[in-house]
């Protein structure tokens, strides 16, 4: 699949994911990119707020039409994570890794979060909104105090200011390439890339729900539907992203 992108730039918006949803209802589709300098109501996973200060990060959403419909949507989550990690690697040379379900991490700290949402309009193919927030040029003090210990930016990690346009171009290129790979070779090829980039495979982890550990074990694989496979004392348990998050066994971010 070759994807052509139409980029819509905003100085200020509530959330690029919300704008994507509004655009979908007006008939915009696959390849529409919504990019904002700042978001006043940026949203994260699990109902969290995503702080999106002006000009610091790369805050954008991409509208995509999964060829395999709703069933394939969960696989796109891994396509996106691989694409962002590879885009960051290409532009900065840093060894970006992926953390299930779709955070991107550098040296054990989060540098990017991805929020995937579905939009279904009557009589239209289901659309996926991939909201991507990459911490690009923040300094430690720019992060809210409660996330300072577990968040980082590309500028902090490289010691130099990052060209956000170059990063956007690289990530969009990687999205195109990885979607084509999914189409040609199926999810196995994406899973292989994701596993090679993963920072938790083989590690002892805990799964949290509403802040409480509900499962302890070792991360051993990724299922076809995107579930993380965790080996526990009573066997391998598949964990679906839904409302859970993952921590290292010692409680650290990874
Ligand atoms: C997470 O919780 O890790 C996901 C964060 C996703 C943030 C991005 S920024 C661009 C897009 N618009 C939003 O409101 N959220 C996503």
What is the per-residue pLDDT for 3?
A: 87
What is the per-residue pLDDT for 1?
A: 58
Ligand 1 pocket member 45 (CB < 6 A):
yes
For residues 61 and 175, give the distance between their C-alpha atoms in angstroms, rounded to a whole number.
12
For residues 70 and 225, give the distance between their C-alpha atoms in angstroms, rounded to a whole number.
11
Q: How far is the CA of 128 from the centre of ligand 1 (A)?
A: 14
Share of residues in the chain with pLDDT > 90 (%)? 90
* pLDDT tens profile 48-89: 999 999 999 999 999 999 988 888 888 999 999 999 999 999
- Which of 43, 56, 100, 147 most suits a substitution to test ligand 1, by most atoms within 8 Å of the C-beta? 43
- Is the pTM higher than 0.85? The answer reads yes
- Measure CA 65 to chain center: 17
Q: How far is the CA of 37 from the centre of ligand 1 (A)?
A: 13
pLDDT over 80 at 2, yes or no:
no
Alpha helices in 102-163 (DSSP H): 154-158
Handedness of CA 98, 3, 62, 183 (dihedral sign): negative
* pLDDT tens profile 195-218: 999 999 999 999 999 999 999 999
Ligand 1 pocket member 245 (CB < 6 A):
no
């Amino acid at each position: 699949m070759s994807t052509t992108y139409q980029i819509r730039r905003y100085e200020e918006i509530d959330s690029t994911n919300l704008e994507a949803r509004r655009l979908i209802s007006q008939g915009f589709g696959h390849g529409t990119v919504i990019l904002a300098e700042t978001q006043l109501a940026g949203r994260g996973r699990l109902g969290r707020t995503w702080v999106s200060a002006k000009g610091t990060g790369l805050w954008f959403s991409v509208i995509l039409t999964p060829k395999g419909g709703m069933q394939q949507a969960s696989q796109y989550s891994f396509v996106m994570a691989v694409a962002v990690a590879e885009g960051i690697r290409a532009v900065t040379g840093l060894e970006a890794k992926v953390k299930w379900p779709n955070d991107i991490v550098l040296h054990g700290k989060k540098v990017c979060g991805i929020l995937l949402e579905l939009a279904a309009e009557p009589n239209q193919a289901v659309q996926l909104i991939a909201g991507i927030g990459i911490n690009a040029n923040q300094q430690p003090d720019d992060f809210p105090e409660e996330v300072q210990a577990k968040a980082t930016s590309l500028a902090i990690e490289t010691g130099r200011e990052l060209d956000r346009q170059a990063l956007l171009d690289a990530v969009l290129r990687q999205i195109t390439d990885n979607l084509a790979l999914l189409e040609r070779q199926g999810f196995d090829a994406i899973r292989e890339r994701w596993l090679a980039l993963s920072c938790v495979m083989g590690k002892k982890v805990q799964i949290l729900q509403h802040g409480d550990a509900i499962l302890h074990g070792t991360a051993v694989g990724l299922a076809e539907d995107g579930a993380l496979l965790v080996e526990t004392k009573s066997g391998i348990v598949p964990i679906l992203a839904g409302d859970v998050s993952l921590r290292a066994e010692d409680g650290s971010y990874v």
